[in-house]
């Protein structure tokens, strides 16, 4: 099995990694999460046994790096009102539909991560499940519950 050069992987997927990192960690910490994800991917790359679905592999690493960031902060900040999607700070105006992101931010952590991986990371339920260490059925449920909550909070009808 032959893996593409790591730089080719970076060139092809850097936007996806940064976009997901910023969605999960906020515009301020997102770049640090993306950098950490690339470091972990680089260290693990020589040991990969399959070149299948490298994008999903990268986004899973990115999600886990964002999770690590939030877990590291929890003891320091018991209210965590701005995690994981920080809507304050200098880049807050760069986020489209801030009301939506505030509602996403208010979701329980696993729902927040699942819906972000699905719709920002563009992962299928198998990819979301892999990133969250759960099953595809549980991933579907997390996303479904998150969407129902968001529709309710934002006053969106299912019609």
- Let me know if residue 31 belongs to a domain: yes
Cα distances (angstroms) measured from residue 106 to each of 23, 37, 102: 14, 25, 6
Domain membership of residue 100 as a residue range: 6-154
Q: Taking a C-beta distance cutoff of 8 angstroms, is the pair 4, 57 a contact?
A: no
- Let me know if residue 75 belongs to a domain: yes
Q: Comparing C-alpha atoms, which of 40, 66, 46 is closest to residue 4?
A: 46
- Let me know if residue 159 belongs to a domain: no
Q: Taking a C-beta distance cutoff of 8 angstroms, is the pair 92, 85 a contact?
A: no
CATH number of the CATH domain containing 107? 1.20.140.160
The secondary structure of 1-13 as a DSSP string is --PPPHHHHHHHH
The confidence band for 130, taking pLDDT boundaries of 50, 70 and 90, is confident
* CA–CA distance, 109 with 102 (Å, rounded to integer): 13
Q: For residue range 49-107, what is the model confidence (pLDDT) as tens digits?
A: 888 889 989 999 998 898 888 777 754 433 344 434 444 444 444 556 778 878 888 88
Domain count, the chain: 1
Q: Is the pLDDT of residue 111 over 70?
A: yes
- Let me know if residue 1 belongs to a domain: no
Question: How far out from the chain centre does Cα 104 lie?
Answer: 12
- What stretch of H or E contains 35? helix 6-44
The confidence band for 24, taking pLDDT boundaries of 50, 70 and 90, is confident
- What stretch of H or E contains 72? helix 54-73
pTM of the model: 0.63
Which tokens is 97 given?
């539909």
- Let me know if residue 60 belongs to a domain: yes
Mean of the per-residue pLDDT values for the chain? 81
């Amino acid at each position: 099995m032959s893996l593409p050069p790591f730089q080719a992987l970076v060139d092809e997927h850097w936007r996806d990694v940064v976009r997901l990192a910023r969605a999960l960690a906020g515009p301020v910490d997102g770049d640090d999460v993306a950098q950490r994800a690339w470091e972990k991917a680089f260290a693990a790359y020589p040991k990969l046994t399959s070149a299948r679905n490298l994008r999903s592999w990268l986004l899973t690493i990115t999600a886990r790096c964002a999770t690590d960031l939030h877990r590291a902060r929890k003891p320091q900040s018991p209210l965590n009102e701005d995690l994981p999607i920080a809507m304050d700070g200098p880049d807050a105006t760069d986020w489209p539909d801030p009301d939506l992101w505030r509602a996403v931010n208010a979701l329980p952590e696993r729902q927040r991560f699942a819906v972000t991986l699905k719709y920002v990371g563009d992962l299928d339920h198998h990819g979301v499940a892999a990133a969250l260490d759960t099953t595809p059925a549980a991933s579907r449920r997390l996303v479904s519950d998150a969407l129902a909550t968001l529709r309710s909070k934002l006053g969106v009808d299912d019609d």
